[in-house]
Structure 1
């Protein structure tokens, strides 16, 4: 299905927010957005509402629409909601996994391990987590997870800028897939939950390791 004008605008601005080009608190003015994208005010307004629904923008009284904050409370909320919903989707998806699903998972793993930049790794990371849950066949749940993964990517880029993190392979991802292939669904789901929740701890810890480091076999690693 082709993107609407509003979806295209929201996608471009969303990526700017995720990458850190637009910082928390930056005004998102409807007239300027319409002018930049050579669109009317209607799709510009709809794009802002899409960004708000994704948790990337917020509306404040007398201040208008702005880039959403990325403080410890916001990070904690994103991580906990995502952990709950993604493990639910993964548990439902695990029983439906077939050879084609595993192929997509392995492709995303390989792309992440071969990544040379944080942007390349983050794209592969999104693909990996999407492949884990796609077989659940629940469109609304998957749409919610797409929005949460976007917010999660924003946290990763923010941490990367502040600690100079570099791409690396992910031992945690391999652990999850290994348990899944053995059909040890309970362990795979628990590993995924711990992995997601590890993001909050690693962001808070000074000198945290790479968000996808495979060096430590005791930490779940960034997600």
Structure 2
């Protein structure tokens, strides 16, 4: 899974340093579940894999800790962060506020090429049952709508939040009927944006994010969930 597939925008694409590349590769593994929660992540092993000194590896680890994907604990070292339902709600509520904010600023600048990217992503999602393809298309769809806001700090924050949210989707997608409803909500949202109804588009986007996050949270907190 490539960095482009994750639909990332400003900071991640600009960060082509060795530490940035290491962080991106590890983030992809954590999000997809290839590195399971609580798995130890050893600096020396990562340094050997990427033929790097420990300095960029430590920097990459700090980036991933800041994103909530790794945790460091005394005597336990660095490990993959657990799937925390409370963290999911925090990320969901932040996205539900910040993505509509970005969309509000983006809509006056949205051009046909931006909408074409969103349409392509929507079609890719609707025609695939592969979670990796769908999730990448989902992030491309969202980013296409708010990228023209021209607020780089906000876009970078949304990249981080969407990456963390994707991890929870990967962990639960087989057990939830998530795809048809989400695809339809995306199509409805795109139609509203094309009609120029900015307030309604921002409201629908926030509702869409909240509903998805709350469904994932409810599933993760089921008493019989292993």
How far is the alpha carbon of 1:164 from its aligned partner?
6.6
Aligned partner of 1:24 in structure 2 is 37
Structure 1 residue 126 corresponds to structure 2 residue 139: yes
Structure 1 residue 145 corresponds to structure 2 residue 158: yes
Please list the CA deviations of residues 139-160 of structure 1 after superposition, one character each: whole Å capped at 9, or x if unmatched.
1110110111101110110112
Aligned partner of 1:199 in structure 2 is 212
Structure 1 residue 103 corresponds to structure 2 residue 107: no
| Structure 1: 5+ residue stretches without partners | 207-223
User: Which SS does the other structure have where 1:59 is aligned?
Assistant: strand
Please list the CA deviations of residues 137-183 of structure 1 after superposition, one character each: whole Å capped at 9, or x if unmatched.
0111101101111011101101125x175854711101111111111
TM-score (norm 2): 0.85
TM-score (norm 1): 0.86
Higher helix share: 2
How far, CA to CA, are the matches of 2:177 and 2:136 in structure 1?
Answer: 16
Aligned partner of 1:43 in structure 2 is 56
Structure 1 residue 52 corresponds to structure 2 residue 65: yes
Structure 1 residue 184 corresponds to structure 2 residue 197: yes
Tell whether the 8 Å contact from 1:117 to 1:166 is kept in structure 2 after alignment: no
Structure with bigger RCO (C-alpha 8 Å, 6+ apart): 2
User: Aligned residue pairs: how many?
Assistant: 206
| Structure 2: 5+ residue stretches without partners | 1-13, 220-226
Q: State which of 77, 84, 89 in structure 2 corresponds to 1:64.
A: 77
How far is the alpha carbon of 1:27 from its aligned partner?
1.6
Tell whether the 8 Å contact from 1:159 to 1:165 is kept in structure 2 after alignment: no
Tell whether the 8 Å contact from 1:105 to 1:132 is kept in structure 2 after alignment: yes
